[in-house]
């Protein structure tokens, strides 16, 4: 099969022929139709310090995908050949304390598809049946199905705290931040402000339904708070950028008792005003991946019940390219001016 391959601990990928995987006990073989390009994939391609410390090579990367089940191993019970599916990329042990308590997203032995085991930038991928998400809604297109993983990140982050009637600040208008705008609007937020430094992404944020889009290279968050007439600050913060300045500005502009969900991964240590966190009684909650599998149920239910949300999340996909043009896809994703980039593996 054709696959993007990292042959060793160095920068770059190659599109090469690799052995076609076969499912073992409890595993499912999927013919990949579409894949999304994630920030994690950009790190692996560049082979930066994070990748060097986290990635097992040689490796086929890729963890955001949609495809069709073509074979099942012994012991597979529910997934059927012909099912259209996406996959939860975190494979868990099932026996640690968190797994046994139903908190599988907190497993201490997580192995990630496309990071520590071969992933989906290929014509076929094999994952455990327990990680397969079967799409029953025919309205889920291959392109939309390919971004269920990052959509799940947006849903997990956005629904960390009650949103009805709340004023929300989202820092970072990348693809996940854009999806979060639609989710918090769907869930009943009152005012939504979004910050970034990219004019094109802020324009996308406006189309997603943000009440105010702030270029923080020109305007401070406090000004957005004033223009939205928020006398006491924002109730909910969703930090999607991983930027120190974004988190500091968020903390500075939260109301007393405000709650912050943190998804963005910082590249360096961040110093913050801990006295304000304490005296303003702020809550900071780290978010990693998706709740397994409550988030998957929530996002499927929201999409099937709301045509408006379905259209909004689909609109985050701004580029669909043949897998044969993967280099152009990675360049587009790395440029960071648009939405989600999807590769079509039927055109290889």
Q: What is the 3-state secondary structure (H, E, C) of the chain?
A: CEEEEECCCCCCCEEEECCCCCCCCCEEEEEEEEEECCHHHHHHHHCCHHHHHHCCCCECCCCEEEEEEEEECCCCCCCCCCCEEEECCEECCCCCHHHHCCCHHHCCCCEEECCCECCCCECEEEEEHHHEEECCCCCCCHHHHCCHHHHHHHHHHHCCCCCCCCCEEEECCCHHHHHHHHHHHHCCCCCEEEEECCHHHHHHHHHHCCCEEEECCCCCHHHHHHHCCCCCCEEEEEECCCCHHHHHHHHHCEEEEEEEEECCCCCCCCCCCHHHHHHCCCEEEECCCCCCCHHHHHHHHHHHHCHHHHHHHHHCEEEEEEHHHHHHHHHHHHHCCCCEEEEECCCC
Q: Which residues are catalytically annotated?
A: 40, 43
Residue 195 CA to residue 172 CA, distance in Å, equals 6
What does the alpha-carbon distance between residue 231 and residue 98 come to, in Å, rounded to a whole number? Answer: 41
Report the chain's terminal Cα–Cα distance, integer Å. Answer: 10
At residue 324's C-alpha, the angle toward residues 318 and 326, to 5°, is 50
Question: Cis omega before residue 35 (within 30°)?
Answer: no
Distance separating alpha carbons of residues 182 and 310, to the nearest angstrom: 9
Return d(Cα 107, Cα 100) in angstroms, integer. 9
């Amino acid at each position: 099969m054709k696959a993007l391959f990292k042959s060793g601990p160095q920068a770059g990928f190659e599109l090469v022929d690799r052995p076609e995987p076969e499912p073992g006990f409890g595993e499912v073989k999927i013919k990949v139709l579409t894949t999304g390009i994630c920030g994690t994939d950009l790190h692996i391609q560049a082979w930066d310090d994070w990748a060097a410390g986290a990635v097992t090579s040689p490796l086929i990367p890729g963890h955001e995908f949609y495809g069709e089940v073509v074979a099942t191993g012994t012991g597979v019970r529910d997934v059927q050949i012909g099912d259209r599916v996406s996959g939860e990329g975190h494979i868990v042990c099932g026996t640690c304390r968190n797994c046994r308590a139903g908190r599988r997203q907190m497993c201490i032995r997580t192995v990630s598809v496309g990071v520590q085991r071969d992933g989906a930038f290929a014509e076929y991928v094999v994952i455990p049946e327990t990680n397969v998400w079967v799409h029953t809604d025919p309205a889920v297109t291959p392109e939309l199905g390919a971004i269920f993983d990052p959509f799940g990140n947006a849903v997990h982050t956005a629904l960390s705290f009650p949103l009805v009637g709340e004023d929300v600040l989202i820092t970072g208008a990348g693809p996940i931040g854009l999806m979060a705008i639609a989710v918090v609007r769907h869930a009943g937020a009152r005012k939504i402000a979004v910050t970034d430094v990219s004019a094109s992404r802020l324009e996308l944020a406006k189309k997603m339904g943000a009440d105010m889009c702030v270029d923080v290279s020109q305007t401070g968050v406090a000004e957005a708070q004033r223009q939205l007439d928020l006398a006491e600050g924002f109730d909910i913060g969703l930090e999607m950028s991983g930027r120190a300045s974004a988190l500091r500005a968020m903390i500075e502009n939260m109301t007393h008792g405000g709650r912050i969900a943190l998804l963005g991964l910082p590249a360096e240590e961040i110093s913050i005003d801990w006295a304000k966190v304490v005296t303003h009684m702020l809550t900071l909650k780290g978010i990693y991946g998706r709740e397994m599998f409550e988030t998957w149920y929530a996002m499927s239910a929201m999409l099937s019940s709301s045509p408006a949300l379905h259209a909004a999340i689909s609109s985050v996909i701004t580029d669909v390219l043949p897998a044969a043009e993967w280099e152009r896809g990675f360049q587009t994703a790395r440029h960071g001016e648009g939405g989600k980039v999807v590769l079509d593996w039927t055109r290889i």
